[in-house]
Chain A
Amino acid sequence: MEFFRNPSVNWLGWKWYFLAFSLIFSVAGLVKMSWNWKHIGSPVPLGVDFRGGTQLDVKFTNPPDINAIRHAVEAAGVKDASIQNFGEAVNHEVLISLPEETNEQALDAGRQQIESALQAHYNNYFNPNSGVKVDVVGPTVGQQLKTKATQAVLFSMAGMLVYLWFRFQLIYGVAAVVACFHDTLITVGAFALTGREISLTVIAAILTLVGYSMNDTIVVFDRIRENLRLSRREQLPDLVNRSINQTLSRTVLTSGLTFLTVLSLFVFGGQVLNGFSFALVVGILIGTYSSIAVAAPMLVAWQEWRAGKGKTATLPAARKSRA
């Protein structure tokens, strides 16, 4: 059985549609992010490990009544808690959050108030020892984590660029990094548009998909380089199209299989990993798309620009030859 026996699609012919598609989603994401910035202070909703605050995840034995819980909590003196259902309805889980405070004592006091309110009203309906997940994050830790996460992302991108520069010439590296940047932007935009929180595990997912998108782009670039060495007379756009077509089977299959596994994670993996799996689901789709739709056209565009200025019209092919 084979999906693509001998594809010969003119990928580069579609480049304007690809550009439009990418632009629409990027801009939509950016718009929502700036709206978020104005209204909630950060481009995407942040998880509790970044923004600080108190969060309790309580598992009840019966389906919880959100309003009743809210009354109980308010009666205990906690006024601005956010209370919502968490995860599948069958889990009977409720998420109670308190906003960030400037010091750790206040956060802890909030937690104790909520816990005692729940124990007073619902003592038989949840197990305070094994059915509760509590997070109290002070402002210092949240800030440290944000710094570390940003550093991690920047280091990753820089590392990728250097690695690609070694393996290929600079223009390949730049094209691949631009594609990765595009993927990250659209994925984060997806979080903004769907109102999902970004926590440290989501950052982990984003870094993973950066690596994955890079892989995908390398597969296509490898083939382009091999073909460049073999055929010096072919027009670049045709050669790039042929390279993409030759690797199409492998690209779609590998992405497809990985996509199926993260889809399983998204559907069955539970609420705690939901942000993580969402990032990977979106990221893998966009990562595959970007190797064909962003990185490859960029190579061709760069070469045509150089040709337009009268420079040599071939892409640098061999840096390291492959036996």
Chain B
Amino acid sequence: MKKDLKNKIALIIAVLLLCLWGIFGDLKGLSGNAFLAAISNRIHLGLDLQGGAHLILQVQVADAVNAETDNSVQEIQQDLKKANLGYSQVTKPDPNKPDVIRIEGVSAAQSDAVNSLLTGNKYANEYELSGGSDTPFVLTMKPVYETDLDKRTVDEAIETIRDRVDALGVSEPLIQEYGLGANEVLVELPGVSDLDEVKSIIKATARLEIHAVEGGPFPTEEAARQSVNGVVPPDQEILTSSGDLAGTGGTAYYLLQRVSVVAGSDFRSAQPGVNSNTGQRTVNFTLTNEAGDKFWDFTSANVGKDMAVVMGGSVRSVAVIKNPIRDQGLIEGSFSQAEVMELSKLLRTGALPASLNYIEASTVGATLGADSIREGVTAAVVGILVVIVFMLVYYKGSGINADLALILNLIILLGIMGLSSWLSNLSGGGGFTLTLTLPGIAGVILTIGMGVDSNVLIFERIREEIRAGKAASAAVDQGFGRAWITIVDTHVTTIVSAAILFMFGTGPVKGFATTLTVGLLANLFTAVFVSRVIFDAHLNNLKPGEMVSI
């Protein structure tokens, strides 16, 4: 019996030490400040306590679908030409349905050939074909493919955002898909308080594209329109230029092919440079192999014509195609140093595959976060003191038992939180970190209240047994035995509530759910196992016939 007891005590002390280490880590000293620094190193605070920015973005996946079908339109045109099949136009008839492509003007004789081209491997994966013979061919993107494309777009957006955020130098940013809605991304940046700066950095769609120039520069939009007799053809668009281009000094309008030749992810790398002859700043880029082929085709066919570099929807540079270019080229223009660096960086980190809308944006200033910590901790300390005093007064000697169990409960709770973040750091940010949020502090306070309830249940039972005449150790035995099921019941119901909250809740509420759950689980250990051990140790020291103080 004694040996058994010694083992149990050893176990408890081991757990205590482990959790203390979890909370404080390696202490640098014994001053109050050292303690505080150690804790804040270990315990991971939520945004509402440490301050930071919280954003929810919605990825406009329709943009990606648009880009994909635009690409396909080009390819279809090229393929049809290569196969010498005639057509009048390949378009996307409805701007609200970016996943539909229509091919018109195919002669009856060639209809079969076109059909087999369009149902060939290249397109069959992505599109369903309908129409033919008398009606225009219609390619509709398959829903399965579209869903997959949507998911890929969101994943790419997350990666790109991560790159951009890394450049901000934020420690421990959180970027992940947001469960509540479709195609939503959650971005949490601790310590960042300037919403506008963050938003503009993340959102810079700077989709860099190269378009063929059909006409321009025009001084006004009207003039641009006049050049095509008032109606802009569906495969062209009018864009403005920014910065000073071609000496216009203001805004010039260009008529461009709507579909880009190369864009975004076609650029493999980009470096800022300077043209030694003109002294103008340049961006020297290389394209991927595939894109290189496309670019070669385009530039070979258009020597002497202009091509425009479009960034973020406006024309940044226009150049004459002097020779066919394969995959290395440069964009030259009157860029500032900052613009050239920015452009290169954006090209390197890739353009966002689709545009982003902000549907929620919040920041918490660090001072307000600190206020919350102070208020929460005050409430916790008052709560603990009240409970400790009450237990001492009401249960006398056994009250000490309950209080020790309570304090150990808290240490274990905080220790587990600290250990989880230490483990997470070890595995390089993977794994699950328990975060302390403001509702989480409330969860700690609730754990105190509910935790000590377990002790009350046991002690009341013990009192009943003593009143019924049992001896000390039998009373203690019965007390623990018979209260056990009720304790489990109460813990299970609350933990189930917490689990549901965790599933349906957002950040701060999740923090509450995890803190409460961990606290209650720790309570099962302290209120039952540890309390029992303390009782046993005390019983060993009792003289025969003496009763426990309760």
State yes or no: do A and B come from one complex. Answer: yes
Show the binding face of A for B, using Cβ within 8 Å. 1-2, 49, 57, 59, 91, 104, 108, 111-112, 127-138, 140-141, 144-145, 148-149, 151-152, 155-156, 159-160, 163, 167, 200-201, 203-204, 207-208, 210-212, 214-215, 218-219, 222, 249-250, 253-254, 257-262, 264-265, 267-270, 272-273, 276-277, 280, 322
Q: State in angstroms the CA–CA spacing of A260 and B195 once bound together.
A: 40
Q: Cβ of A131: which chain B residues have Cβ within 8 Å of it?
A: 365, 367-368
Contact between B504 and A265 (Cβ–Cβ < 8 Å)?
A: no
Candidates B194, B372, B445, B486; contact of A265 at CB < 8 Å: B445
Residue B4, interface by CB 8 Å? no
Q: Cβ of A127: which chain B residues have Cβ within 8 Å of it?
A: 365, 367
CB-CB nearest in chain B for A207: B497
Shortest beta-carbon contacts, A-B, top 9? A270-B375, A258-B449, A261-B449, A211-B497, A152-B504, A254-B453, A261-B383, A268-B379, A138-B359
CB-CB nearest in chain B for A201: B439
Candidates B181, B357, B368, B450; contact of A132 at CB < 8 Å: B368
Candidates A57, A130, A134, A215; contact of B494 at CB < 8 Å: A215
CB-CB nearest in chain B for A88: B375
* Among B441, B496, B503, B509, residue most surrounded by chain A Cβ atoms (within 10 Å): B509
Residue B314, interface by CB 8 Å? no
Taking A204-B439, A215-B490, A264-B445 as known contacts, 14 extra A-B pairs with beta carbons closer than 8 A to each other, sorted by chain A number, are A2-B463, A57-B368, A129-B194, A130-B368, A132-B363, A136-B358, A136-B360, A136-B361, A148-B504, A149-B504, A210-B497, A261-B386, A264-B380, A272-B375
Q: State in angstroms the CA–CA spacing of A222 and B488 once bound together.
A: 13
A132-B363, A148-B180, A270-B376 known; A211-B496 Cβ under 8 A: yes
Give 1 or 0 for each of B19-63: 1 = CB within 8 Å of chain A CB: 000000000000000000000000000001001000010100000
Contact between B376 and A204 (Cβ–Cβ < 8 Å)?
A: no
Instruction: Output the least CB separation between B482 and chain A (Å).
Output: 8
* Among A218, A268, A280, residue most surrounded by chain B Cβ atoms (within 10 Å): A268
Contact between B501 and A264 (Cβ–Cβ < 8 Å)?
A: no
Looking at chain B's contact residues, the main secondary structure is helix
Residue B196, interface by CB 8 Å? yes
Instruction: Output the least CB separation between A219 and chain B (Å).
Output: 6
Q: Cβ of B509: which chain A residues have Cβ within 8 Å of it?
A: 200-201, 203-204
Q: State in angstroms the CA–CA spacing of A286 and B544 once bound together.
A: 45
CB-CB nearest in chain A for B361: A136
Residue B508, interface by CB 8 Å? yes
Contact between A273 and B494 (Cβ–Cβ < 8 Å)?
A: no
Contact between A270 and B496 (Cβ–Cβ < 8 Å)?
A: no
Instruction: Output the least CB separation between B176 and chain A (Å).
Output: 16
Number of interface residues of B (CB under 8 A): 73
Show the binding face of B for A, using Cβ within 8 Å. 48, 51, 56, 58, 180-181, 193-196, 357-368, 371-372, 375-376, 378-380, 382-383, 386-387, 390, 393-394, 396, 438-439, 441-442, 445-446, 448-450, 452-453, 456-457, 460, 463, 485-486, 489-490, 492-494, 496-498, 500-501, 503-506, 508-509, 512-513, 516
Contact between B452 and A257 (Cβ–Cβ < 8 Å)?
A: yes
A1-B393, A258-B450 known; A133-B439 Cβ under 8 A: no
Q: State in angstroms the CA–CA spacing of A280 and B180 once bound together.
A: 27
Q: State in angstroms the CA–CA spacing of A204 and B509 once bound together.
A: 7
Instruction: Output the least CB separation between A252 and chain B (Å).
Output: 10
CB-CB nearest in chain B for A200: B509
Contact between B493 and A151 (Cβ–Cβ < 8 Å)?
A: no
Candidates B180, B438, B452; contact of A144 at CB < 8 Å: B180
Contact between B438 and A272 (Cβ–Cβ < 8 Å)?
A: yes
Q: Cβ of B513: which chain A residues have Cβ within 8 Å of it?
A: 204
A262-B445, A273-B438 known; A208-B360 Cβ under 8 A: no
Contact between B500 and A257 (Cβ–Cβ < 8 Å)?
A: no
Contact between B449 and A218 (Cβ–Cβ < 8 Å)?
A: no
* Among A151, A249, A254, A257, residue most surrounded by chain B Cβ atoms (within 10 Å): A257
Contact between B500 and A159 (Cβ–Cβ < 8 Å)?
A: yes
Q: Cβ of A128: which chain B residues have Cβ within 8 Å of it?
A: 193
A207-B501, A270-B372 known; A138-B358 Cβ under 8 A: yes
Q: State in angstroms the CA–CA spacing of A160 and B357 once bound together.
A: 39
14 contacts between A and B (CB under 8 A): A59-B365, A129-B366, A130-B368, A132-B368, A133-B364, A136-B361, A138-B359, A148-B180, A152-B500, A207-B497, A208-B501, A253-B456, A254-B456, A268-B375
Contact between B504 and A258 (Cβ–Cβ < 8 Å)?
A: no
A222-B486, A257-B456 known; A141-B180 Cβ under 8 A: yes
Contact between A140 and B58 (Cβ–Cβ < 8 Å)?
A: yes
Contact between A261 and B493 (Cβ–Cβ < 8 Å)?
A: no
Candidates A133, A152, A155, A257; contact of B387 at CB < 8 Å: A257
Q: State in angstroms the CA–CA spacing of A57 and B390 once bound together.
A: 38
CB-CB nearest in chain A for B460: A250
CB-CB nearest in chain B for A49: B506
Contact between A144 and B181 (Cβ–Cβ < 8 Å)?
A: yes
A152-B504, A268-B375 known; A134-B363 Cβ under 8 A: yes
Q: Cβ of A167: which chain B residues have Cβ within 8 Å of it?
A: 489
Candidates B357, B368, B512; contact of A104 at CB < 8 Å: B357
* Among B379, B452, B492, B516, residue most surrounded by chain A Cβ atoms (within 10 Å): B379
A132-B365, A201-B508, A260-B386 known; A269-B490 Cβ under 8 A: no
Contact between B512 and A108 (Cβ–Cβ < 8 Å)?
A: no
Q: Cβ of A218: which chain B residues have Cβ within 8 Å of it?
A: 486, 489-490, 493
Contact between A130 and B500 (Cβ–Cβ < 8 Å)?
A: no
CB-CB nearest in chain A for B196: A112
CB-CB nearest in chain A for B516: A208
Q: Cβ of B441: which chain A residues have Cβ within 8 Å of it?
A: 269
Q: State in angstroms the CA–CA spacing of A249 and B453 once bound together.
A: 12
A127-B367, A211-B496, A269-B375 known; A141-B359 Cβ under 8 A: yes
Q: Cβ of A159: which chain B residues have Cβ within 8 Å of it?
A: 496, 500
Q: State in angstroms the CA–CA spacing of A280 and B396 once bound together.
A: 29
